[in-house]
Amino acid sequence: MASEPRNLLFWDPVRVGTDLALQLGQAGWRISLAGSLDEARQRLASRHCPVGLAWLNASESRACRDFEQLLLDSQTQTQWLALVQPEDVRSDALSRLLADGVFDFHTFPVDSRRLLDSLGHAAGVAAIRASAHAAAAGDAVTAGGMVGNSACMRQLFRQLDKIGQVEAPVLITGESGSGKELTALAIHRRSLRASGPLVAVNCAALPASLVQSELFGHEKGAFTGAVRRKIGRIESAAGGTLFLDEIGDLPLEQQTSLLRFLQEGTVDRVGGTQPVRIDARVIAATHQDLELAVDQGRFREDLYYRLNVLRLQVPPLRERTEDIEALAWQQFERFGRERGVQVKGFSEQALQCLLRHDWPGNVRELINRVRRAIVMAEGRLITPADLGLDRRNGRRMVPSLQQVRAEAESRAIRTSLRLARNNLSEAARSLGISRVTLYRLLDKHRIAIGQPREPPPAEGIRELRINGEASLEPGGWSCSTGRG
């Protein structure tokens, strides 16, 4: 069965591409010809064209200006390819358009097979962009502003649907900036408590001297300056949800009071004589390794198990690259409307840099970069420079074998120390190495006893013996010792 023809807008202001248009039609494209800006706008208004092809000539300055305007008009819905003379590629009139405005360009004489491949590729990208814009408009904003169509985010959304319907405490883990607060909001909105308050508390931001009063409240006269009764954050969440962000930073004394609330459903105001019963669901979040904090005595083990009834892991942005463009457009729409700027969107180079960046700051970093770009952009399209990304250096670097090996060693040692509760002899036995070798590796990786460990590796760790010394390396890699 023949595939459905795809729509293509052919911008040909000097009317010289008739034969090419016929060939494209025979190849399965439904062609809409346009020779002027008004005509092109009419074609786009009457028929969705995911792909556009422009015949450009640097000597036709008016046509080049009109095409630049057409790019701005159709940038969010049409992927453009350009046909140019070889000598025009570096011309002042076209170089910027070709670098930042079009998906791809071809020089004469045109390789028809390569052109058809490029058009097909552009159609695929247009379909992805359409999904991204649907997400920005709300079709894939699943809850609380969360955007994602990647496999890991679809799994997270399925978990949210299940967790939202029960009352048990939830522990959300993930890197800083990955979206833990939005995840908590999504759980609240899916729950039977959605009509109640969601009270968020950043445990890391509360001064140690005020934590007890802020969380649990106080009675009038409880201490100097307590001129009236204060309702604590926990009590304010009655009938709704209490979100404790960065729970790993909560002081031990307040951990005891929080545990009592989780066990008995009551709080004691500072200076109070009677416990106050509170009905609130608790969601906690952290970027720390709470199991390690328990081992080190920084976090109560019984509180950890009370909170860790239901657990959600929010993936970092680098593991969900399929969502980057949708997130970027979502933030562009959000901040662009607020500021009322003339910027129309992202250049092709900017989008490529967004996809290549490693995002150590996760979604929060992406939001800040897009917001900055909207303010700093001098043209109609956001460039890599506006985002603070170098188009040449935005590519992900593949780690060397030495880096991977060192990281695997460090992770394995930290894990063994945690499981052995910092007993060096037991840790060395679990690693299959001597205490002397373990001491050397501790010094090599600058690991102090009790120092927080890194996240566990994605793959298993196995031991190799090289020149009589033990070394650790991720499973699946091989290493040459230089011996037969």
Position 457, amino acid: P
User: When comparing pLDDT for 133 and 465, which is higher?
Assistant: 133
Distances (CA, A) of 83 to 20, 56, 278, 317, 349: 11, 6, 69, 36, 19
Residue 460's pLDDT band (boundaries 50, 70, 90)?
very low
Sign, Cα dihedral of 353, 178, 186, 144: negative
Rounded CA gap, 126 and 9, in Å? Answer: 13
Q: What is the pLDDT of residues 320-354, one digit of tens each?
A: 998 898 899 888 888 876 665 677 778 878 888 99
At 473 the pLDDT is 35
Would you say the pTM of this structure is higher than 0.85?
no
Among 56-70, 99-113, 158-172, 202-216, the range with the most confident prediction by mean pLDDT is 158-172
Q: How confident is the model at residue 464 (pLDDT cuts 50, 70, 90)?
A: very low
pLDDT value of position 139: 44
Most confident of 200-214, 221-235, 267-281, 363-377: 363-377
**pLDDT band at 131, cuts 50/70/90?**
low
Between 15-19, 77-81, 191-195, 471-475, the lowest mean confidence (pLDDT) is in 471-475
Half-sphere exposure of 344 (CA within 13 A, CB side): 17
pLDDT tens track for 56-100: 988 888 888 898 888 877 655 788 999 999 999 888 878 878 877
**456: confidence class by pLDDT, cuts 50, 70, 90:** very low
Q: Which long-range contacts (CB under 8 A, 24 or more apart) does 95-98 make?
A: 97/56, 97/64, 97/67, 97/68, 97/71
Exposure of 183 in the CB half-sphere (CA atoms within 13 A)? 34
Lowest mean pLDDT among 8-17, 192-201, 386-395, 451-460: 451-460
CA atoms within 13 A on the CB side of 386: 23
Domains and CATH numbers, the chain: 6-136 (3.40.50.2300), 151-313 (3.40.50.300), 317-387 (1.10.8.60), 401-474 (1.10.10)
- Structural contact between residues 148 and 154, judged by C-beta atoms closer than 8 angstroms: yes
Q: What is the mean pLDDT of residues 236-241?
A: 95
Of 13 and 373, the structure prediction assigns the larger pLDDT to 373
Of residues 219 and 453, the one with the higher pLDDT is 219
Q: How many CA atoms lie within 13 A of 114 on its CB side?
A: 11
Q: Residue 301: is its pLDDT beyond 60? A: yes
Q: Please check the confidence at residue 263 and state whether its pLDDT lies above 90.
A: yes
At residue 384's C-alpha, the angle toward residues 379 and 387, to 5°, is 90
Q: For 38-54, what is the mean pLDDT?
A: 90
**To the nearest whole number, what is the mean pLDDT of the chain?**
81
The pLDDT assigned to 74 comes to 66
In whole angstroms, give the CA distance from residue 358 to residue 366: 10
Does the structure show a pLDDT above 50 at 242? yes
Q: What is the average pLDDT across 368-375?
A: 93
Instruction: Give percent above pLDDT 90 in the chain.
Output: 37
Q: What is the pLDDT of residue 140?
A: 47
Question: Distance between CA 270 and CA 217 in Å, rounded?
Answer: 6
In whole angstroms, give the CA distance from residue 300 to residue 259. 9
Number of residues in the chain: 484
How distant, in Å, are the alpha carbons of 128, 358, 393 from that of 390?
A: 24, 13, 5
Contact by Cβ (8 Å): 437, 450? no
b/e 47-73 (16+ beta carbons within 10 angstroms → b): eebbbbbbbbbbeeeebbebbbebbbb
- Give the model confidence (pLDDT) of 146-168 as tens digits: 888 888 998 999 999 999 999 99
Provide the CB-side half-sphere exposure for 9 (13 A, CA). Answer: 28
DSSP run (H or E) holding 160 = helix 151-163
